[in-house]
Amino acid sequence: MNLSAPTTATQSLLPPDDPQRSALHNEVHARPSARIRLPALVTYVAVLNAGISREQEWTHLCALPGQQDLPLDNLHSSFLRLRLGGYTVKWERHTEFTRYSLVQPLPENAALGASEPDLLGTLAVTHDWLRSIPGRTVVAIQMAMVSGDLTDPVALMGQAQTWLGGGSLVASQLGFVPSAPGNPSQPTGHSWALTKFRIGADGFERMLVIAPVGTSETRAGRISQRLLELETYRLMALRGLPVAKLLGPMLAEAESALADITARLENKSASDQDLLDTLVSLAARVERATAEHVYRFSATRAYDTLVGQRISELREKAISGTQTIGEFMQRRLSPAMATVAATGQRLASLSERVSRTSALLRTRVDIATEVQNQQLLEKLTRGQELQLRLQSTVEGLSIAAISYYVISLLLYGGKALKAVGVPVNPEMAAGALVPLVLWAVWWTTRRIHAKLHADH
C-alpha cells in the first residue's frame, strides 16, 4: 500500500485540501541526502545564479550523456538527481546560488595513504561540462570519502596528512556522543573530517572523510551534505563582509555630517532652508545605502545561523593536535560576522538619527511658522481695529452729511410753503429741526447696525 498518497476513500473523509497542502507537506522531503557508498569521490560546485535562468541550467544538464530528452518540468521543484552510468549528478537551485554535486566511486589511486592524488583526471564528467556550468563559482570542493581504522589516531592522522599534502589541518571527530553517567564506555564518534580550508591550484578545496568499515550509505550521505552545506553557507555569509568594509567610510562621513548638522541646528548658525537641503541630501544617501544592502545583511545573518546549525549537527570532538571545524569557524568567521552585524546596526542607527534630526528641524520650522502666523494675525487684528475706527469716523461724518441733506430738503420745503402763502419762516423752522433730524438719523443708523448684528 502506498502511504505517500491518500486513497480516495481517505480523501472523502476530509474537507477539500488547501492548494498548498501537498507542496508544504513535501517540503521536508524536497532535498533528501544522497546515498553514498564508500569509497566515493564527491565533486561539488556552487555558483551564483544571478541573471541565470532555470532554462539555461536545464540546457546545461541536457548536455550530460543520455539526458538530451530531459523534461524542463523536472527542474520546477528546484531539485533533481540524475542517475547516470556509474555516477550521479545532483542539481539544486536556491535563492542566490545553484549547486551541482557529482558522486562517483573513488579512483584507486586516491585511496587513503596516497600523496595528493590527482582527482580531476578521473572525473566522470568532462572538464568542458564542468567549466561551462552557468554562473560564477563561489564554492568548489572535492571530497574523498574512504573507510579507515579509527582506533589508531596517530597512524590515521599521518595518512590524512599525506593525502592532503601536509601542512596545518582542521580536523574533527564527528558524531561524538558523550557517555551517559555511570557508563564506563569511552565515548567515540562515527567518522573523521579533515580539510585545510584552502583553495588549491586547480580551484578546488579538498576534504577528506574517514569512516569505519560498514558505514551505511545514508550516514555517509548525511555527512557529505552537512560538510558541503557548512562550507557553502560560510562563504555565502562572508559575502556581507566586503559590503560592510565598503560602507565603513561612507558611514563615517555621514555620521560626521549629521553631527555637524545637529550642531548647526543647536547653535542656530544656519538658515532652516540650508539645514533642510543638507539633511535631505544626507537622508537620501543613507536610505539608498539601506535599500541597496539591507538584503545582503539579512542574508548574512541567515547564512551565519545555518552555519551554526550545521556545526551543531556535526557533534564534533577534538582530535589531538588539531583545531576542530567549529573552533576554526568561531575564530575566523565570528569576527567577520560581528563586523557585518555592527555595520548593519550602524546603518540602521544612522537612519534613525537622521529621522530624529529631521523631526527636530521640522519642529523648529513649525515653531517659526507659528510665530510668523501669530505676528500676521496681530497685524490683521490691528488693521481691523483701525478699519473699525475709520468706519466709525466715516459713520459719524455720514450722520452729519445725511442730516445736512435732510435739513436742506426741509428748508427747501419751507421756502416752497412760504412761496404759496403759508406764514412760516423757513430758516427758523430748519434751524429748530436740526437737533431732531440729527437724533433721527443717528437712531436710524443704530437700528440698522442692531439688525445687522442680529442677523449674524
C-alpha cell at 164: 592532503
Check whether domain 240-376 has CATH 1.20.1070, yes or no: no
Residues 89, 98: Cα–Cα separation, whole Å = 13
Q: Is the dihedral of CA 131, 135, 139, 144 positive or negative?
A: negative
Is pLDDT at 185 greater than 80 in this prediction? no
* Greatest mean pLDDT range, 34-38, 174-178, 243-247, 256-260: 243-247
Q: Which helix (H) or strand (E) holds 134?
A: none
User: Span 226-241, mean pLDDT?
Assistant: 93
pLDDT, position 178: 61
User: What is the pTM for the complete model shown?
Assistant: 0.75
pLDDT digits (tens, 9 = 90+) for 370-410: 777 777 887 777 777 777 777 766 666 677 777 778 888 87
Is pLDDT at 417 greater than 60 in this prediction? yes
β-pairing, 205-211 vs 136-147, is parallel
Is pLDDT at 159 greater than 80 in this prediction? yes
pLDDT, position 332: 83
User: Alpha helix (H) ranges present in 165-271?
Assistant: 217-238, 240-267
* Greatest mean pLDDT range, 1-10, 24-33, 205-214, 270-279: 205-214
Residues 166, 454: Cα–Cα separation, whole Å = 108
pLDDT, position 269: 67
DSSP state of 450: H
C-alpha cell at 419: 412761496
Residues 269, 263: Cα–Cα separation, whole Å = 9
pLDDT, position 49: 93
Residues 78, 90: Cα–Cα separation, whole Å = 11
Give the pLDDT band (50/70/90) at residue 3: very low
pLDDT, position 350: 86
